């Protein structure tokens, strides 16, 4: 593991992100760091045989609806030209189409896996070439933030760290949500600053990545009473949530120049301030730690821009911690220094029940009301 880069102002070397890679070195890296199973240099014969058998069964299943399509096409051709598809060709044609579809999906899955492995390997070389600390993966990372509170099989990967003027971590992250019938993987990427001050829990929910139908893409549904409107066009880009009673503190932290910086650097990304950590989140396939030099240019420029503004945040104090208790006599003498930290009411935002949680209830209620209505009409 190499020493951390002393500053982000120096131009970084993007060559390791673009240079050709040795595929055997990529495979060794993937196996060593647990991204793929080890052993052997290729797929064993019984693995190939099992894949062919399963692929054949899948092709048979897909061929059934394709057979219906071929029969429809046959009917149209015969009605318009008088010449149809020979009967003994119909099923082989449907099966060949299904096999082509299955093979295309398999090829895409293998190619995507290979490209992901190459990207991970390139990031490791990029970090080493630029004097950055690099960690291949961390299972169940212990970090504050709403994306780290959900699911199972939580893994942070391609972790790149800087140390000056404050600790910064850039990484990709995923977790799995399982029910009795579903198995869904959620992918995020984050850019996190470690601050020299614990701050109130504040969330900037970017409007550009929200759904018009389902609302926020964030995993936690936050109580709407905690929303705070700020001046200018900031509300067009973000919905700001802060604990009730901390509105003045949010205005102290989010001065117009800092709001402008977040709009320039973070519009399209969600932002969370929790404990002593400021994180920018990207959901889906838009990874911060990637083999894209343009993304790293954005990352380093964003780190520089925000570092220049965060000193003001680290001077913030929670005056609620200094409020004297009426039950305790205060000694005479110089006033003690303002305590560090955040009062309990400002440490976490309140959550609400998401609207989708009511959907099963609404459906069941609709069925319960509709059944007697249909009976009466019948």
Q: Please report the pLDDT score of residue 276 as a whole number.
A: 95
Q: Please report the pLDDT score of residue 4 as a whole number.
A: 43
- Per-residue pLDDT for 205 more than 90? yes
Q: Please report the pLDDT score of residue 44 as a whole number.
A: 66
pLDDT confidence bin for 47, thresholds 50/70/90: low
| pTM of the predicted protein model | 0.77
Q: What pLDDT, in 10s, does the model give residues 82-134?
A: 776 777 777 788 888 888 888 888 888 888 888 889 999 999 999 999 999 99
Q: Please report the pLDDT score of residue 290 as a whole number.
A: 94
In the 3-class helix/strand/coil scheme, how is the chain assigned residue by residue?
CCCCCCCCCCCCCCHHHHCCCCHHHHHHHHHHCCCCCCCCCCCCHHHHHHHHHHHHHHHHHHHHHHHHHHHHHHHHHHHHHCCCCCHHHHHHHHHHHHHHHHHHHHHHHHHHHHHHHHHHHHHHHHHHHCCCEEEEEEECCCCCCHHHCCCEEEEEEEEEEECCCCCEEEEEEEEEEECCCCEEEEEEEEEEEEEEEEEEEEEEEECCCCECCCECCCCCCECHHHEECCCCCHHHHEEEECCCCCHHHHHHHCCHHHHHHHHHHHCCCEEEEEEEEEEEEEECCCCCCCCCHHHHHHHHHHHHHHHCCHHHHCCCCCHHHHCCCCCCCCCCCCCCCCCCCCCHHHCCCCECCCHHHHHHHHHHHHHHHHHHHHHHHC
Q: Which of 5-9, 96-100, 226-230 has the highest mean pLDDT?
A: 226-230
Structure tokens, 231: 């001046």
Q: Please report the pLDDT score of residue 193 as a whole number.
A: 96
Q: Please report the pLDDT score of residue 346 as a whole number.
A: 92
Half-sphere exposure of 341 (CA within 13 A, CB side): 8
Rounded mean pLDDT of 307-334? 72
pLDDT confidence bin for 2, thresholds 50/70/90: very low
- Per-residue pLDDT for 239 more than 80? yes
pLDDT confidence bin for 3, thresholds 50/70/90: very low
Q: What pLDDT, in 10s, does the model give residues 130-184?
A: 999 999 999 999 999 999 999 999 999 999 999 888 999 999 999 999 877 788 9
């Amino acid at each position: 593991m190499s020493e951390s880069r002393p500053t982000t102002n120096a131009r970084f070397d993007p060559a390791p992100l673009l240079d050709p890679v040795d595929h055997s070195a990529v495979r060794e890296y993937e196996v060593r760091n647990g991204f793929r199973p080890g052993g052997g240099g290729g797929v064993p014969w019984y693995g190939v045989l099992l894949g062919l058998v399963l692929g054949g069964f899948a092709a048979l299943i897909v061929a059934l609806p394709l057979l219906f399509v071929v029969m429809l096409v046959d009917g149209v051709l015969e009605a318009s030209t008088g010449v149809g598809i020979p009967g003994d060709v119909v099923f082989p044609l449907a099966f060949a189409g299904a096999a082509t579809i299955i093979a295309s999906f398999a090829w895409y899955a293998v190619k995507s896996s290979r490209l992901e492995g190459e990207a991970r390997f390139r990031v490791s070389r990029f970090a080493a070439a630029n004097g950055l600390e690099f960690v291949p993966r961390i299972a169940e990372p212990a970090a504050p933030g709403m994306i780290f509170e959900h699911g199972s099989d939580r893994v942070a990967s391609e972790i790149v760290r800087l140390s000056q003027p404050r600790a910064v971590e850039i990484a990709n992250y995923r977790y799995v949500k399982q029910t009795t019938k579903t198995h869904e993987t959620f992918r995020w990427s984050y850019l996190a600053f470690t601050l020299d001050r614990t701050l109130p829990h504040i969330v900037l929910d970017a409007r550009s990545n929200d759904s018009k139908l389902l609302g926020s893409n964030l995993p936690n549904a936050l109580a709407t009473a905690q929303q705070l409107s700020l001046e200018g066009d900031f509300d067009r880009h973000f919905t700001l949530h802060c604990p009730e009673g901390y509105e003045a503190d949010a205005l102290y932290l989010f001065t117009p120049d800092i709001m402008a910086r977040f709009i320039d650097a973070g519009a399209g990304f969600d932002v969370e301030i929790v404990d002593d950590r400021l994180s920018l989140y990207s959901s889906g396939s838009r990874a911060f730690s990637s083999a894209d030099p343009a993304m790293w240019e954005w990352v380093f420029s964003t780190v520089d821009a925000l570092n220049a503004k965060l000193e003001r945040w680290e001077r913030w104090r929670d005056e609620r911690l200094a409020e004297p208790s009426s039950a305790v006599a205060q000694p005479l003498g110089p006033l003690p220094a303002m305590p560090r930290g955040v009062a309990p009411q400002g440490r976490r935002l309140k959550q609400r029940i998401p609207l989708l949680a009511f959907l099963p209830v609404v459906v069941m209620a609709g069925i319960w009301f509709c059944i007697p209505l249909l009976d009466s009409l019948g």
